[in-house]
Structure formats: C-alpha cells, structure tokens
Amino acid sequence: MLRNNIINNILRLTKSATHKNSFPVQRFVHSPSGGTHSSDNGTKVYVVAAIGAAAIAGGYAKYRSNLQLDSGVDVNEEQRIDPDGGVSGAKGSKKTGEVSKINPKEDLRAEGWIRNGGEKEKAYITMEEVARHDLAQDAWVVVEGKVFDVSNFHKYHPGGSQIIVANAGKDVTELFKPVHPPKTLENNLSPECYKGMVDPRAVADSLKAYEAEQERIERERNALAPVETMLGLDELQEAAESFLSPRVINYYGASSLDGYSLAENRSSFRKCRLVPRVMRDVTKVRPQTTIFGVPSALPIYISPASNALLGHPDGELNIVRGASKTGIVQGISAAASFPLSEILEEKSKMDQEGGNKMGMVYQVYLSRDRQKNVEQLKEVVEGGCQALLLTVDSNVGDHRQSTEKLKGAKGNAEPGTRMGPIENDHQWHDASQNWEDLKFIKELAPGLPIYLKGVSHIEDVRLAKEYGLAGCILSNHGGRQLDGARTGFDSLRSIYAQDPQLVKDVEIYIDGGVRRGHEVLQALAFGAKGVGLGRPFLWAQAAYGEKGVIRAVRILEREIVTAMQLMGVTDLSQIKPDMVECLQEIWK
C-alpha cells in the first residue's frame, strides 16, 4: 500500500513537473513483458531528475547512514560522520581517473518536447542518465523517484561530503528515508536542485528493500518484552540491538581507532569505591538540582546525540516527550534528525500539556562558514533554548575505522579513488577555532550561558573562567574523536586534586560511560554539578520510543535515590570526596 501510494504521487507530480533548467532525454517505454525499449517514433522528452542530501539542525537537516546505508554514519553526539575527505573524484571518474568533460546540457542529448493537452511536460529521467552524474563536482541522487543535483551542496552537509559523493549517481531512497524526516530536501535545497523524476516503476523496485526492512524492524520492536521488565540501561541497549541493523548499531556504538577511550569511559568508574556513612535517617532524600541553570529532577541530563531517527521514526521527538514528562534537561544535537523548529514545536506542546517549562539546551559547532552559525543561533535564541554547549573537541574530523569499513571507504593511493578517510574539508569542522571566537558566539546569543563541551585540561577550565563562560563539560566525545583521550571522570578527579576551588568556581559537568546511578554520585563527590548521558537514551528510544526514554530515567532515578540512602545522604550537597576512594594507579 505504501509503495502504491508513493508511485501514484510520483505519477501525479510527473504530470505537472516543469523546470527551466531541465533537459530533454530519450524516452523509454515499458513493454507488457516488463522490459524497456526506445519509443518507435524516436520521440524525446524533457528530464526530471535530482539528488537528495540534507542538513540538520541550524539550517540543514542532518544526513546520517541508516542500517541500509552504503556509507557510514556519524557517531558523534552531534555526529559528524567521517569528515569530508579529499575527493579525487572531483578530478576524474572513478572508472577512468580522467578529467570529466561531460557538459550536462549537451550530454543529455534531448531533442524536443512531449505535449499533453497542449502543455509542455517533462518525461522521466533514466537511471542511466542519473548514473552519469557520479562525481563530486557533478553529483545527482534519486530519492523516492525525484532527482536532485547536490553538486554544490554536499560540502555543506553536516554529515560530511563523503556519504553523498560515495552515492552520487544512485538511487539513495533506502539510505535517505530512515534517517531524514519528511520535507528534509524541500526545506534545505533550492528549487534549482530539483531536476525531475525517474520512471516510477524503477522507484517501486528501490522501495521494496526499504519497506521490507521497516516492516521487519517494527515487527521485532513490537515483539520485545514489556518496557517495565527492563531493569538497567544495558538491557535497553540489548533490546534495541536485537532488531536494529548492523549499520545503525555501528553508528550508535562506533568509536575512533581502537576504541580505547570508549572502553575507558566505562571502566574509569570502576577504579573508585564508595565509602558510605551509616546510622543516618535517610527516610526522605532529595535528588533534585539545577542543570545549566535549569531546574532538574535528577543530577543528570540528556547529552546531545545525533540521528535518533536512525533508531525510531519519532527520533528526537521521543526524547523531548520523555524528558518533559520526567523533568530532566535535554541537550539538542546540532546534527539532530529533525529540524530544530520541529523539536522546539514539540517542546512547546509538551510545556503546555505538562504546565511546566522543560529544560532544553543546544549544542553548537563553529562552522567554517560563520554565516551558518548566524542563522543557526538566531533560531536557537528565538526558540527559547536556555544555554549553549559549544563543542570544542571536534575542530577536525575523527577516524572511525569500523564505520569506514562498513561503508567501504577507500584510501587515496590510486587514481580515481573518490574519498580518503583522513582529509578534512568539512564545513562543520573548523581547525582555526580559538578563544577569540567566543566573542562571536556571545554577540549572537547575548545573555545565554555558554558551556565548553569537550574539555580535559585544567588550564582550559581556567581559561573558560577567565573568558567569562558559565562552565565546562569534561568529555572525550564519547570516545569518537581522539582515541586515548582522558575520560571525563578521570579529568574531573585530576582537576579536583590540583585545584578544588576551581571546581567550585566553575560549573563542571562530565559525560561518557555512566550507566548506573551510583556512578553519578561518584562524579558529584568530586564537584561535578551533573552528568550527561547520550547513547543510553538513543538505545532506549530506539527500542521503546517515548516509553523507553521514560523508563531509562526511572531506572536512573531509583538507582540514584537508593545509592543516596545507602551512602547516608539526603541531599546531593552532602556527597563529599572522602566518601569515594580511588585505587592507586598501579591497580587500575
């Protein structure tokens, strides 16, 4: 039924589609036997074509690989997939390595119009024609039968050029639909990018695999055990992994290089032991606090994490609903699947239903094109976000081997190779960013508190204080950037040991590796104001939607409250460093 509706819509759109930049191409007629042949009268027609790639938050809908992606997905919370690598394809075809001499207007070889009812109409663009446009400087893609030219767009794609260029000249419907909300292309590409439409029967074939996969996922999701039976965050992850595709699992779980920092994020909490106090009345405990200046029911927040849509059709909207209903702060990824406007609209709806204004903060990346930040932050400020999280540990792209292998990334040793994994031509990575750029951010968001996300060194915390920032988030980006980088928890302990007063003077948060409530208390003992969790909420909403998000919060709430009682404290302020004992380095 879904496929038939799409085909009918494509046929309807084809009858009215016209564009001044379309070019005539040969018309193909389907025979009763199912084959195709040139029309007997040699009639030619005008083309409809195009590509589809999109941007995210802040003006572009973010493109991420889905389970079915040919290419990889960005695993960062804001998840940039691999940065835009060097594109030798821009100089030559992947087949010949020679410079392309194709002139799109001449090469379409179209002659004349087909008339219907006296009106000029475009005919279908053939997939053979689309396949000609497979270079970085001449890139077309097909999404649900529509052809788009993304030659001038892919370098601005928040997910990097690589995913787009690697699939240029192809039908990317299977890759595109699972990770982009409706109207992504219409909202982010200019009308000139739309080229026309391909034969709807070819579209029907391309949708079969997508539909079958979505049906399988929904069937297996519905067969999961009741969400109430989930007793830990790891169980929610296991539930999601039981039906998600390998590519989605890799996207959510991938790390840089050997995954050392990713593993350390979890193990760092096991280097310390809690030292509880006893014989205290803990009948009533108060786990409430403020996070980024916003009231929170618990000392946790949802870290910005990209592409929630990969796991569930409602993606980030699930997280908005769950965070609102449980009273915790949500961080919005700059690479969210849904446009910021739709996320803010859902927030407004939840605020009205619940009677309370939920906390929402926004993650910012400095773009090489600062105008992108101007547009982005205008929407953030007008939308009512309460703080900015400026990500500073992604000034260049990462190197995620598992993702590259899944998407078949190539090196740059041979002529004609399209993308290299180590080049960095990504508009949302800026290697030139520095402390003076804070003036630019402050001017665009006057009055909004700014927190640096991705800090490890004590001197950077001191500089943040000097520049008048609200605080820092100690983090190694979930192990997705610099492999071997110190964990947020280890950075916290080190900074506290060197300068306890600094931790009191600057709001300090950590993220990475927390999966249990007592681990939150370990961080609070060394002065952290709160702890962020990203992946656990991606897995939770993938498995159970909004209910999964609520369940994840309730699991942590019970564990935090129970740990507080067993530690002998009734308020978070009572948790002190002497209540945590860390092992000597030799035993770690």
List helix spans (H) across 178-253: 184-188, 200-222, 233-241, 246-253
**Rounded CA Rg of the chain:** 26
Higher pLDDT, 215 or 52: 215
How do beta strands 329-332 and 580-582 pair? unpaired
- Would you call 17 helix, strand, or coil by DSSP? coil
Out of 8-12, 71-75, 220-224, 528-532, pick the least confident.
71-75
Sign of the alpha-carbon torsion through 407, 408, 412, 415:
negative
Alpha-carbon gap, residue 65 to 172, rounded angstroms: 10
Q: What is the pLDDT of residues 40-60, one digit of tens each?
A: 333 333 333 333 333 333 333
Average pLDDT score over the chain: 78
Confidence of residue 403 (pLDDT cuts 50, 70, 90): low
Q: Catalytic site residue 180? A: no
Of 202 and 508, the structure prediction assigns the larger pLDDT to 508
Residue 395 has pLDDT above 70, yes or no: yes
Coil vs helix vs strand at 324: helix
CB atoms within 10 A of CB 357: 16
Considering the candidates 154, 429, 477, 518, report the single residue annotated as catalytic. Answer: 477
Two structure tokens written together for 237: 């992850």
If one counts every other C-beta atom within 10 angstroms of the C-beta of residue 39, the result is 14
* Pairwise CA distance, residues 337 & 335, whole Å: 6
Q: How far is CA 198 from CA 117, 131, 219, 237, in A?
A: 22, 12, 31, 40
CA–CA distances in Å: residue 262 to residues 145, 188, 456, 484, 530: 40, 34, 15, 9, 20
User: What's the average model confidence in pLDDT over 362-370?
Assistant: 90
Residue 384: closest CA among 418, 364, 366, 360? 360
CATH tag for 2-212 (out of 3.30.1490.20, 3.20.20.70, 3.90.245.10, 3.10.120.10) = 3.10.120.10
Contact in structure between 492 and 523 (CB atoms under 8 Å):
yes
Q: Which two tokens stand for residue 120?
A: 């000029």
From CA 586, how far away is CA 588, in angstroms rounded?
6
Residue 455, pLDDT score: 98
Q: 448-504: per-residue pLDDT in tens?
A: 999 999 999 999 999 999 999 999 999 999 999 999 999 999 999 999 999 999 999
pLDDT attached to residue 97: 32
Quickly state the pLDDT bin for 566 (edges 50, 70, 90): very high
Q: Which helix (H) or strand (E) holds 532?
A: strand 530-533
CA distance 111 to 206: 29
Out of 3.40.50.1820, 3.40.50.300, 3.40.50.150, 3.20.20.70, which CATH number does the structure's domain 229-409+435-587 have? 3.20.20.70
Residue 213 CB contacts under 8 Å (≥ 6 apart), including other chains = 67, 68, 174, 178, 245
The whole-angstrom separation of Cα 203 and Cα 126 is 11
Tokens of 123: 């005919």
Task: For tokens 């402390």, name the residue.
Answer: 435
Displacement of CA 357 from its chain's centroid (Å): 25
Across residues 11-16, what is the average pLDDT?
40
pTM beyond 0.95: the answer is no
Q: Is the pLDDT assigned to residue 122 strictly greater than 80? A: no
337 CB-near residues (< 8 Å, 6+ apart): 56, 61, 62, 64, 179, 180, 181, 306, 307, 308, 309, 310, 315, 316
pLDDT (0 to 100) of residue 408: 52
Whole-angstrom distance, CA of residue 298 vs CA of residue 553: 9
Residues of the chain within CATH 3.20.20.70 domain(s) are 229-409+435-587
Q: Are 450 and 444 in contact (CB under 8 A)?
A: no
Cα separation, 307 vs 334, whole angstroms? 10
> Mean pLDDT over residues 195-224, rounded?
85
Q: Which residue intervals of 359-515 are DSSP H helices?
A: 370-383, 401-407, 437-444, 458-466, 488-498, 500-505
Higher pLDDT, 51 or 433: 433
Q: What is the pLDDT of residues 167-202, one digit of tens each?
A: 888 888 877 877 777 777 777 788 889 899 887 777
If one counts every other C-beta atom within 10 angstroms of the C-beta of residue 53, the result is 32
- pLDDT of the residue at 482: 94
